[in-house]
Chain A
């Protein structure tokens, strides 16, 4: 299985390649990608340099253009496709069918990967992308169990990529409106979930209060691990109880499921975290490279090694093991 690793900056790209990534995914410094955060991402020139660096070391660069174009502003997204192809991207990761059509028509030799933002979670949807746009790979949303993934790989010849570590979107990605509701900005259209421009932290007597768009979404007591200020991992008071009504603030870590994912026919394993630092990328990529070596050699796969880097300092298997069913 290939190891697909994140890079938010040129330094991160080099770190990921050096740590053992088979491919690195990244995006441009604008709203065409779903990690449009301040200080992150690549200019076309930086991307071309990154591609050269990766190729010299036997790695590939995939470019995520995985937001939905604004009406009347399609030029920015077309330019992103043009620039990525020109830079030598090994594949484009797309979610919008119009952009897929543009890419398939203008660059038929370029590999097209269906982004997780497309929320293609069944064989029929994947078949549509393959037949219509010659998609070669689909990144599955994080709402499927391992047996459900196995059923999909049996039903399509399209390569399947799944997330194995990092921030955990618990919603059907590309269709989640929680961030839009609170801030008017979303990962789908603007490339930002819970944008930093709308986040406020206030610390009093050891307790941190986090707010998003004026909504208080969590309070962390003294010494309690903190989390990202996303609504889906907020702690709310309802008529029934007070707590995490969507998902606890945890990170996905599916290292122990690698044998099952391999047996399910998965082609590639994706690490989330383009917004994270070089330290995160180096440690997570090395850890999963070691896990894959252990898998190949029949050794036990170390578990829980990456908890210090995880949101809330804890991990979950997410929907891969749906204990709530």
Chain B
């Protein structure tokens, strides 16, 4: 059966409230390490980005108190954690964190997330499509890459997150796992 793609299992508001006072430094270090792994394992992403390599994307998890600026410069890609997105970006993609991760690892279809209003896009739509298609082709397993950075603790966390997602899917009619073993619905 087909994943619902309708909105959304956002993190509860208390999670966002609990995270809000935390400093961004540790998250910045973690995400930079994750990005380095992704680039090392998926170098063809930049080939698919083509003329859009070098664009600056704002990624805004709607259920978290921070956002990310992804600069896709081929030789020096970087990701910056911010409290709110700056004005001068090429494009913005907003939605629950699980939707953004699910688009990367192949669990969710970006167009369907847009149709269902789960995600919203603004700015240079060509750049958005290039990024979406490049990442979809690469099949970036964000959870696995993140877990690898954290070591044994990360692997435990990854297993826990996958288990929770699969269990919530199994409990819900009209859903199924897909992609890299991810639960594929989060209504």
Give chain A's interface residues, CB within 8 Å of chain B: 8-12, 15, 37-40, 195-197, 199-203, 208, 220, 223-228, 275-280, 282-283, 287, 305-313
Contact = CB atoms under 8 A, between A and B. Distances in A.
Given A283-B3, A309-B112, 14 more contacts: A10-B137, A11-B106, A11-B137, A38-B127, A196-B125, A201-B121, A226-B116, A277-B136, A278-B106, A278-B136, A279-B178, A283-B178, A287-B2, A307-B2
Contacts of B184: 279
Given A38-B126, A227-B115, A308-B6, A8 B133 contact: yes
Interface in B113-146: 114-117, 120-122, 125-134, 136-139
Given A196-B129, A201-B122, A278-B139, A308 B117 contact: no
A45 to B, nearest CB: 11
Contact of A220 (B117, B130, B134, B178): B117
A311 B115 contact: yes
Interface of B: 1-6, 48-52, 102-103, 106-112, 114-117, 120-122, 125-134, 136-139, 174, 178-179, 184
A310 B107 CA distance: 16
A199 B174 CA distance: 33
A9 B122 contact: no
Contacts, number: 129
Contacts of B126: 38, 195-197
Contacts of B2: 283, 287, 305-309
8 contacts: A11-B106, A203-B122, A275-B133, A279-B178, A282-B106, A308-B116, A309-B112, A310-B115
A227 B132 CA distance: 17
B132 A279 contact: no
A202 B125 contact: no
- Interface centre among A39, A225, A283, by most chain B C-beta atoms within 10 angstroms, is A39
The 7 A-B pairs of least Cβ separation, nearest first, read A39-B133, A9-B137, A38-B130, A39-B130, A280-B109, A196-B126, A196-B125
Task: Provide the main secondary structure of the chain A interface.
Answer: mixed
B106 A37 contact: no
Contacts of B111: 228, 275-277, 280, 309, 311
Contact of B129 (A9, A39, A311, A313): A39
Contacts of B114: 226
A202 B122 CA distance: 6
A39 B49 contact: yes
A305 B1 contact: yes
B116 A225 contact: yes
A37 B129 contact: yes
A153 to B, nearest CB: 31
B112 A280 contact: yes
- Interface centre among A227, A280, A310, by most chain B C-beta atoms within 10 angstroms, is A280
B136 A9 contact: yes
A275 B129 CA distance: 9
Contacts of A37: 129, 133
Contacts of B120: 201, 203, 208
Contacts of B48: 9, 39
A276 B106 CA distance: 11
A38 B136 contact: no
